[in-house]
Structure 1
Amino acid sequence: MPRIRTHATKKAPEGFDKISPTLNEFAIQLKEAESEKGSKLSTKNTESTWQVFQIHHERSRYVYNLFYKRKAISRELYEWLLREKYADKQLIAKWKKKGYEKLCCLQCIQSNETTNGKTCICRVPRATLEANAAKKKEPVTFKQCIHCGCSGCASSD
């Protein structure tokens, strides 16, 4: 969520008015996702937060693409957006590294979040999962990540 604006907050740099409608749309989607309550019987505890993670990822990817891919915004505006928390600074830092271009969330690479001390299964390339399943003559059991609901975020997918 973006920070709350106060008198001490610096005014938005030039160009913010062009991207603010899209950022406002993401904010509306986030509010809807946070207020939406699923049935306690049909969903797991983590499933209710998956949509929030996905919208957060989309908003950060939007800012990342504007600055690094399309070069449509200035560095000043980009840094202001990060400072005001319109995008996730750490997630964008990972996207710039090789092997993490499609990373869905930071929880999936934190080894202390899992019981066996490794990263999430969504980071394993789909081809590797299928090859291992073929050796065991079983179908691939992985459908969605338990942290954020992604179906796989390995760079080779």
Structure 2
Amino acid sequence: MVRPRTSRAKKAPDGFHNIEPTLNSFEDKLKDAQATALSKTGRKSESLWEIFRITHQKSRYVYELYYKKKAISKELYDWLLKHRYCDANLIAKWKKQGYENLCCIKCIQGSENNNGGTCICRVPKATLEKNENIKFKECVNCGCRGCASSD
């Protein structure tokens, strides 16, 4: 008789132990931010801003290791995406021209906050400065202060 497997999780690829402490520190920060977000009062969207920032930093860390520094293997990169150590959709957008500095996926999706279009944080700062009617401080979705690639 065939013995059933007790664990379906594959062992992490080579090189994971080198980046694991950094990823664990991001996870610890994320857990703290989630606990803080639950206890905060005020606008719900503002309580989530720190979570978006940490997720962005963690995804940017993995993106730069693979695409910029070439410090991790394709196998490890795919394993990290599969096990959701980073945001695969956000990284996919960073690879496209014009989205290199995108803060979160929410800012390019049509929502009621964006009037069915792109978020104001995606508008280049030079354009915002010309238009005196717009007083932009932070994105309502994630707290970004401008992630347009031309900035």
| Fold shared per TM-score above 0.5 | yes
| Letter aligned with residue 78 of structure 1 | Y
TM-score (norm 1): 0.88
1:7 counterpart residue number:
7
TM-score (norm 2): 0.91
CA distance in 1 between partners of 2:23 and 2:67 (Å) = 17
- The counterpart of 1:142, out of the listed 128, 136, 144, is 136
Aligned to 1:70: 69
Percent identical pairs in the alignment equals 59
RMSD: 1.5
Give the C-alpha shift of residue 113 in structure 1. 4.5
Unaligned runs of 5+ in 1: 1-5
Kept in 2, the 8 Å contact 1:57–1:105? The answer is yes
Are the equivalent residues in 2 in contact too, given 1:105–1:148 (CA < 8 A)? yes
1:13: Cα distance to partner? 0.0
Counterpart residue identity of residue 14, structure 2: E
Equivalent AA in structure 2 for residue 7 of structure 1: S
* Equivalent residue letter for 1:20: E
Secondary structure, in 3 states, of the residue corresponding to 1:9? coil
Contact 2:110–2:117 under 8 Å retained in 1:
yes
Matched with 1:95 is 94
Shift of residue 19 of structure 1? 0.1
Contact 1:103 1:153 in 2 (8 A): yes
The Cα shift of 1:112 comes to 3.6
CA deviations on 1:47-73 (whole Å, 9 max, x unpaired) are: 110000000000000000000000000
Q: What are the Cα deviations for residues 116-157 of structure 1, in whole angstroms up to 9, with x where unaligned?
A: 211110000000000112xxxx5x510000000010100011
Following superposition, which runs of at least 4 residues in structure 1 exceed 3 angstroms of deviation?
112-115
8 A contact 1:107–1:113 mirrored in 2? no
What is the CA distance between 1:39 and its match in structure 2?
4.5
Distance 1:30 1:91 in 2: 17
Which residue number in structure 1 is paired with residue 3 of structure 2?
A: none
For structure 2, the residue ranges without an aligned partner over 5 or more in a row are: 1-5
Does the CA contact (< 8 Å) of 2:114 and 2:120 recur in 1? Answer: no
- 1:8-157 pair list within 5 angstroms: 8-37=8-37, 39-40=40-41, 43-114=42-113, 116-133=115-132, 140-157=134-151
Distance 1:115 1:72, change over 3 A: closer
CA displacement at 1:25 relative to structure 2: 0.1
**TM-superposed deviation, 1:114:** 3.6
3-state SS of paired residue (2:44): coil
Amino acid at match of 2:65: L
